[in-house]
Every structure is written in C-alpha cells, then in structure tokens.
Structure 1
C-alpha cells in the first residue's frame, strides 16, 4: 500500500534502538526523509547508517538540547512534517519504596520531551496547515503492570495526546498515540528477562498475552506509519493499543 509519505520530513526521538529504530526504518522504507535522535552517539550513528537516516545526538531531558534538535532539522530540511515522540525509559520499583524524585525523573524522560517538542513543531505545522504527531506510550499507561513511575508518565502522555489533538486539529494537525504491549527485541527488558528466566517468561506469555507471543518492533512501526498517513485522516486524539490482546482495557 502506498501511504503517501514520500519526501516527508520525519523526526523520531529515541530512534537508535528498539521500537524507535523500527519506526525510523519503516518511514525510510516509505520514502520519507528521516531524522533520528537519541543520547548515545555511537549507537545512534550506527542506526542512522543502517537505516539511511540523519542522526542528531541529544539528551532530550534538557530543554536547550530539544530546541537544538528542532533547529538542526529545520536548518537541514526546512520543516518537520511528522514528529514521533518515542524517547523514554523506566526506573524505580514499588511506590512505597521509590523516592518521589524518581517520579520526577520518569516525567523528564517520558513526558516533558514530548510536550516541549510537540509545542515546537506545532508552530511549524500551523504555517503549513498540516502535520502529524504520534506519541508512543504503553498499555501500562491505562492500567497497572509496569513500574509505577513509568505508568504515571505514560498515563499523562495519553491524556496529553488527546488534549493536544483537540487543540491542533483545527489547524490541520493530527495528534495520536500508540500504546504497545510487551514487545521483544534484542536491546529490550523482555529479552533480558527471557535470558534470565525463560520458564517464567514462557508462563507470562501464556497467561498474559492472548495472542500467545510477544509483539515485534515492526508491528508497532507498521501502525505508526499508518497513523501518520492520510489513510488515517479521521483518526484524531486516539491512542491505539497494539498488544496482541494483552491489555485488559476495552478502549
């Protein structure tokens, strides 16, 4: 299917590995001009070379570096058509054992970069009357399951997605989200857990994922490129679960 994404300028945060890397590749395969940004320069450069993307190393927890990324993309390509807010991470443990500062750190990693970068690119997109922003959250933003710091940040991201979508759509800018379930890839936490205790993880898959297996990064990426295309022109403010039935929520 031709998704009409040729020559679009796409910025993918957290694009050096895992889901972000797969999203960047999917856009490149659709003929888009892709920019990836992440903190680790060596891994980022390797990913960009493999994909055929332009790399901008940055620590997106820092406001000045976020602004620098947007500035560099605009200097090179003239605009940003599609923003994928994928950067994030988890920390802490049980709520009663976790210092409140770690909740703040989780917001710094998962929420504030998405808010700041979205505000910056909306100002570019408004002039054109078109654009797409897609926020990568988690099914655990809708229900308990992951680390509480991570859950809280992703829940806030899902709420932010709907709020910004309603503000942005009058300007022709669509904002949506994707909430992945448990995804297996070489650099992810599930791979580490699988290596440490394969029997326990096998039991988890059997009891928690109706589809009977982990998802792949490509399955997330396929949904993201669809949402960014005009094939999804009437999808506004939605966060789609992509989880093989894992989520217990019915929305």
Structure 2
C-alpha cells in the first residue's frame, strides 16, 4: 500500500504520543507510518524514540506534508522518561488524547539464550514500557473526558512464533489493554491492541531472504504481504471517534494468517500461488 495522499481530518484537534516513532534510514517502519497517518488526519504528535535522529526524520516527514510534531528522546523503560514524555506533550499541546505503545524488540529466540537479563530486557521494552506510558497518560486523558490507548502487539502473541520471550511479551500487551479497558472505561479510556503479522517493514526486509517472503505470502489466505501503512490505518481507526464503542479488542492485521489451519496452509503452498 502506498503512503496515503488524502486524509479526512478524523483526528483534528487531538494530540497523540507514538513510541518507537523512528525508522532507521529512509524506510517506513510501523512507528513512523502510524505517526505520519495520525498527523495526516490532523493530530499533533509527540514522537518518542531512544534515537533522536530517527525520530527527527519522522518529524521532517510529517512537517513536509503540513503536519505538526515534535521529538521527545529517551528510554521508555524508565519511569522518569515516560513521565517526561507525557508532561512535555501536555505542556506543548495542552492535552493528550491518543497513546500508541509501539516500541518493541524481538530477542531472545531459545531458552538457552534467555538468561534473566535478556528475558527482562524484552519484557521491559515491549511490556513494561506500555504500562509506564499508560500510567502517566491515563490521568491526562481523563481530564478531557477520555482517550484511546493502542498497544502494537504481534500475531506472535496469538500463535507460537519461535521466540521464547517475544511471544509472551506481546500476548501480555493484549492482556494489559484488556485490564485498562475494565479499570478505566468509566473515565472514557478505550484500550485496544493491534497485532501485525507478515508485514514487510525495513527490518523484516533486511532479515528475510526473497524465498522466505514468497513462503510468507503463500501461507496466507490473501496471498499478499502487508506493510506499515496497513497497520497505521487500523490504528487511525481505533484512535478516532468512529471507534468510540470499541474497546478491549485484539485486532490482527495479518491477511488472515492467524485464522488458517495447518492443512489449509499446506494446500495453499502446494497450489503454487504467488
């Protein structure tokens, strides 16, 4: 899917924070695509990233299309940094309506690589960061009648992925959203989870050989790859007032991969569909 050219101002007047909003190089990762689409729809966006230069590239992208954003560099696993991101956003823009917990890492793979430090790092970056950002965002959202929290999980949190820490951390992100739904719904807070799968990002492109990309396409019911814009559009909808009655949802954006059984997948692969 190409970058959107037309927007409908569905988020005009709203303020958003997107963590992991940078992308290495000129590619479009999920965090950058989300930030660009939210800004295109009229939201003012705080771009959180550990690497300020990556987030600056996203800011330039947004400003070139007429949007408004600023960079807040820091570590989402640190309580003080998370509090600062929220405080700076409210100080600059006067409110907070949308939080997208997107930042994440995907190691270690096997038990013999998962010492306590590696395990803790994955859970801290993927899960604890979402809890901390939500902790400081909920009170500010509540002041304005509510808001939308969207956790970017993965289909690895729905089906086994072959990574001992990544899958559990992503499954827990969906559980966190459900708890937020129940605990803060009466304050107008909606919390949902988007689970990308078989999405071609710059990172995936650098890691996957061409034959593996063909296999990924063939195993899915639609027979195509997703991209970061597909994820961003799902986030845009959940962030908007159009989704005012939707909370606690775990939405796969995966071309139907999580709905297909082993025999059906085998049949698709054997059929030789490209």
| TM-score between both structures, scaled by the size of structure 2 | 0.85
Q: Distance in 2 between matches of 1:31 and 1:245?
A: 30
Q: Check conservation: 2:220, 2:260, Cα contact below 8 A.
A: no
Paired residue for 1:38, among 49, 72, 77? 49
Cα shift at 1:146: 4.5
Partner of 2:249: 238
- Residue 192 in structure 1 maps to residue 203 in structure 2: no
Cα pair 1:174 1:237 within 8 Å, conserved: yes
Q: Which moved more, 1:107-116 or 1:66-75?
A: 66-75
Aligned ranges 1:78-93 → 2 under 5 Å: 78-93=94-109
Equivalent residue, structure 1, for 2:214: 202
Work out whether 1:117 is the aligned partner of 2:133: yes
Give the structure 1 partner of residue 30 of structure 2.
19
Q: What is the aligned partner in structure 2 of residue 58 from structure 1?
A: 74
Once the two structures are TM-superposed, the CA of residue 100 in structure 1 deviates from its matched residue by: 2.9
**Structure 2, unpaired ranges of 5+:** 1-6, 24-28, 64-68, 262-274
Q: What's the CA shift string for 1:200-247, capped at 9, x where partnerless?
A: 3312331x3222122111010001010111111111111101100111
Whether 2:225 is the aligned partner of 1:214: answer yes
Separation of aligned partners in 2, 1:203 and 1:5: 37
Residues 137 and 154, structure 1, Cα contact 8 Å, conserved in 2: yes
Alpha-carbon distance between aligned partners in 2 of 1:87 and 1:46, rounded to the nearest angstrom: 17
| SS, match of residue 195 in structure 2 | strand
- What's the counterpart of residue 5 of structure 1? 11
Query: Are 2:125 and 1:126 equivalent residues in the alignment?
Result: no
| Aligned with 2:117 (options 77, 88, 101) | 101
Does residue 148 in structure 1 map to residue 200 in structure 2?
no
Q: Which of 211, 218, 227 in structure 1 is aligned with 2:238?
A: 227
Q: Which moved more, 1:91-100 or 1:213-222?
A: 91-100
Look at both structures and tell me which one has the larger radius of gyration over its CA atoms.
Answer: 2
Aligned partner of residue 200 in structure 2, secondary structure: coil
Q: TM-score, normalised by structure 1?
A: 0.92
Hey, what's the Cα distance between the residues in 2 that align with 1:15 and 1:146?
A: 26
* 3-state DSSP of counterpart to 2:159: coil
Cα separation, 2, equivalents of 1:47 and 1:184: 18
Cα deviation for residue 98 of structure 1 reads 2.2
How many residue pairs get aligned? The number is: 245
Unmatched tracts of structure 1, length 5 or more: none
Distance, in Å, in 1 between the alignment partners of 2:141 and 2:216 is 43
Shift of residue 27, structure 1, vs aligned partner: 0.8
What CA deviation, in whole Å up to 9, does each residue of 1:70-107 have, x standing for no partner?
11111111221111110111111212442132111111
Secondary structure, aligned partner of 1:145: coil
The RMSD of aligned alpha carbons is 1.7
Larger CA deviation: 93-102 vs 170-179: 93-102
